[in-house]
Amino acid sequence: MNNNMQKIFAKAQALQAKIAEAQKKLEKEEVSGSSCSGMVSVVITLKGDVKSISIAKEIINPDEKDILEDLILVALNDAKSKADMEYEKGMKEASGGIGIPGL
C-alpha cells in the first residue's frame, strides 16, 4: 500500500471515530417541544427517547380528553422535529459537512 493510501485510510478512521463520538454526545442531548403556548410540553433526547411530559393543570378537563391527547401529540412532534434538526446539524459538523448516508 502506498503512502497516499495509508494517509487516506488514517483520515477515514479519524473521521469515523469523530462521528462515533459525536453520535454518543448527540444522543444524550435533549430538546423540548410544546403546544398551547407551553401548557403542554415534552422533553426528548435527540435520539427520540421521551424524557418527560408536563401538562398544566388548568387545561386538564376530563370532558376534553381528546383535545389534550392532540396537544400532547403536537408537543411530541414539535420536540421530534427539533431533535432531528439538532442531530443532523451535529452530525454535519462532526463529518466536516460530508453527507454520509444513514447518519
Collapsing DSSP to helix, strand or coil, 101 comes out as: coil
Q: 26-63: per-residue pLDDT in tens?
A: 888 999 999 999 999 999 998 888 999 999 999 999 89
The reported pLDDT for the residue numbered 57 is 92
CATH code, 77: 3.30.1310.10
DSSP H or E stretch at residue 30: strand 30-35
Tally the domains of the chain: 1
Would residue 8 count as lying in a domain?
A: yes
Would residue 28 count as lying in a domain?
A: yes
Would residue 102 count as lying in a domain?
A: no
Q: 69-92: per-residue pLDDT in tens?
A: 999 999 999 999 999 999 888 888
Task: Provide, rounded to the nearest whole percent, the portion of the chain with pLDDT above 70.
Answer: 93
Would residue 61 count as lying in a domain?
A: yes
The reported pLDDT for the residue numbered 93 is 85
pLDDT at 7 over 70: yes
